Amino acid sequence: RIVKMLGYNPIGFQTSILPFTLEAININKGLYVIPRYSYFIKNGISYSFNEDIIFNKTLDNETETLSDISLNKVLYQGRFYEHPPYTATGEDNEIFTLSVDRNIIIDHFNIFVYRYNTTDQIWEQWSSTDNLFLESPSTKKYEIRLNSEQNYEIKFGNNINGLKLNPNDLIAIYYLQSDSVNGEINTGELNNATYVRFFTDQFNKIYNDLSPTSAQLLLDDNN
């Protein structure tokens, strides 16, 4: 309680990361996007993207190594999950507790928050900050803290330090669940893994509102 009063926010768990080489095979040339939270899975082990991956395929129906992505991006061990939506009360410094089973490991740096603005009637992405005290009144940011119960508290602003939520705003939260040491792999173990696009009805609405790019979605076999 004392360190909380001082503004200290403990950092929680962190999952493994994986540098990789990505090749585009059997697709036409054009601009493509791998949507955020999509993942590769092999032998029950998953590694996910935490952002949209956009690439330009320049060769038609030929294998092409996507060097820029391979050099600048990494995969994160685990899979993203969608928490049931939370309806805001609109109080100052509103706190939502991401409460899950104690055996579930969530990566501290892969918790993402979206708000459905009841005024504009559109989904928007907010970003995390180390300390809301340092933010301006209009900043769309939230603060993450691992509490004594090993659950993450997500705190919003008060229109002085960070923007306050409106009453009845919907909050959507996506988090990366890690397999800890059971998800660690050796070089080459993810070769020929199955690609799976992350998809839920809610996420599809969010993604359409964000409109990140006019690129074609890279779909999996089921989509």
Is the model more confident about 170 or about 22? Answer: 170
The secondary structure element, H or E, covering residue 5 is helix 2-5
Which pLDDT score is estimated for 222?
Answer: 46
In the predicted model, is pLDDT for residue 223 greater than 50?
no
- Residue 104 has φ and ψ, to the nearest 5°, of -85, 130
Put simply, whether the predicted model's pTM sits higher than 0.85 gets the answer yes
